[in-house]
Chain A
Amino acid sequence: MDFKADLRDLRFQLFDWLPMDELLATGGFGDWDRESLGMTLDEAYKIAQERLGPGNEEGDRTEAQLADGQVTLPESSHDGYRTVAEGGWIGCANSPEYSGLGMPHTVGTAATDLFAGANLSVTLVFLLTRGVGEIIERHGTDELRALFCERLYTGHWSGTMCLTEPHAGSDVGASTARAEPLGNGRYQVSGEKIFITFGEHDLTDNIVHAVLARLPDAPSGTRGLSLFVIPKVRVQADGSLGEPNDVRCASIEHKLGIHGSPTCSILFGSEGGCEGYLLGEPHGGMRVMFEMMNSARIEVGIQGTAVAAAAHQAALAYARERVQSRRWSDGRDADPVAIVEHPDVRRMLFTSDAFVQAMRALALKTSYCLDRSHVEEGEAAERYAAYVDILTPICKAWCSDWGFRVTEWCLQVYGGYGYSKDYPAEQYLRDIKITSIYEGTNGIQALDLVGRKLRRQADAVRQLLGEAAGTARGLASDPTLGPSARKLGQALEVLGRVLTETPGKDDGPLRLVLNAVPILDMLGHVLGGHHLLEQARIAGDRVREIVAAKGLEDGDADAYRELLQSDADAAFLHNKVQAAVHFAHRVLPQVEALAAPIEAGETAAIDAVL
Chain B
Amino acid sequence: MKIGVCIKQVPDTEARLRPSASGQWIDEEEIPFAINEGDEYAIEEAISIAEQTGGEVVVVTVGPERAREALRKALAVGAHRAVHLADEAYAGGDCWATARALAAVANRESFDLILTGSQSADVGFGTTGTLLASMLGWPHAWLVVGLEVADGSAKVTREMEAGKNELLQIGLPAVVEVQAGINKPRYASLKGIMQAKRKEVAELSPADLELDPSQVGAAGSRLEFLSVSVPPKGEGAQILEGDTAEVATQLVDKLRTEARVL
Residues of A at under 8 Å CB distance from B? 1-2, 30-33, 35-36, 39-40, 43, 46-47, 83, 86-89, 92, 101, 103, 317, 320-321, 566-569
Contacts and interface: CB of A to CB of B under 8 A. Distances in A.
A39 B73 contact: yes
A2 B242 contact: no
Given A31-B194, A35-B72, A36-B193, 18 more contacts: A1-B245, A30-B194, A31-B197, A33-B197, A39-B73, A39-B188, A39-B196, A47-B187, A83-B187, A88-B191, A89-B190, A101-B190, A320-B242, A320-B246, A321-B246, A321-B249, A321-B250, A569-B30
A232 to B, nearest CB: 27
Contacts of A87: 187-190
Interface centre among A39, A46, A83 (most CB of B within 10 A): A39
A92 B73 CA distance: 18
A194 B182 CA distance: 47
Interface range for B = 20 to 34
B20 to A, nearest CB: 13
Contacts of A86: 189
A101 B191 contact: yes
B187 A46 contact: yes
Contacts of B66: none
A43 B187 contact: yes
A40 B193 contact: yes
B18 interface: yes
A88 B245 contact: no
A568 B30 CA distance: 7
A387 B182 CA distance: 51
The 6 lowest CB-CB distance pairs between A and B, nearest first, are: A88-B190, A101-B190, A87-B189, A88-B189, A43-B188, A39-B193
A86 B191 CA distance: 10
A92 B190 contact: yes
Contacts of A566: 18
Contacts of B242: 317, 320-321
Nearest to A47: B187
The interface centre, meaning the residue of A30, A46, A88 with most chain B CB atoms within 10 A of its CB, is: A88
Contacts of B245: 1-2, 317
A84 to B, nearest CB: 9
Given A39-B73, A317-B246, A320-B246, A103 B30 contact: no
A317 B243 CA distance: 9
Contacts of B76: 39, 43
A588 B247 CA distance: 38
A305 to B, nearest CB: 22
Contacts of B194: 30-32, 36, 101
A30 to B, nearest CB: 8
A567 B187 contact: no
A567 B16 CA distance: 10
A276 to B, nearest CB: 32
A559 B187 CA distance: 42
Contacts of B72: 35, 39
Interface in B100-119: none
Interface string B184-204: 000111110110111000000
Nearest to B241: A320
Contacts of B243: 317
Contacts of B197: 31, 33, 35-36
A195 to B, nearest CB: 32
Contacts of B190: 40, 43, 87-89, 92, 101, 103
B61 to A, nearest CB: 17
Contacts of A32: 194
Contact of A43 (B16, B18, B193, B249): B193
Interface string B47-82: 000000000000000000000000011001000000
A567 B87 CA distance: 28
A569 B30 CA distance: 7
Contacts of A30: 194
Interface centre among B18, B187, B190 (most CB of A within 10 A): B190
B193 A567 contact: no
Contacts of A31: 194, 197-198
B82 to A, nearest CB: 15
Contacts of B30: 567-569
Interface string B81-104: 000000000000000000000000
Interface in B232-262: 242-243, 245-246, 249-250, 253
A83 B187 CA distance: 8
A89 B72 CA distance: 19
25 contacts: A30-B194, A35-B72, A36-B193, A36-B194, A36-B196, A36-B197, A39-B193, A39-B196, A40-B190, A43-B187, A43-B190, A43-B193, A83-B187, A87-B189, A88-B190, A92-B190, A101-B190, A101-B194, A103-B190, A317-B242, A317-B243, A320-B242, A321-B249, A321-B250, A566-B18
Contacts of A321: 242, 246, 249-250, 253
B176 to A, nearest CB: 26
Contacts of B189: 86-88
A240 to B, nearest CB: 25
A40 B187 CA distance: 10
B160 to A, nearest CB: 29
B141 to A, nearest CB: 29
Nearest to A567: B30
B28 to A, nearest CB: 13
A32 B190 CA distance: 10
Contacts of B191: 88, 101
Contacts of A1: 245
A111 to B, nearest CB: 9
A47 B186 CA distance: 10
Contacts of B250: 321
Contact of B16 (A2, A88, A103, A568): A568
A578 B73 CA distance: 35
A6 to B, nearest CB: 13
A188 B249 CA distance: 58
A288 to B, nearest CB: 27
Contacts of A83: 187
Contacts of A40: 190, 193
B129 to A, nearest CB: 26
A36 B69 CA distance: 10
Contacts of A46: 187
A105 B190 CA distance: 14
A54 B187 CA distance: 16
B237 to A, nearest CB: 18
B259 to A, nearest CB: 16
A314 to B, nearest CB: 10
A101 B250 CA distance: 43
Contacts of A89: 190
A521 B73 CA distance: 43
B123 to A, nearest CB: 23
Nearest to A37: B193
A88 B188 CA distance: 10
A89 B191 CA distance: 10
Contacts of B188: 39, 43, 87
B131 to A, nearest CB: 32
Interface centre among B191, B194, B197, B246 (most CB of A within 10 A): B194
A43 B191 CA distance: 12
A83 B253 CA distance: 35
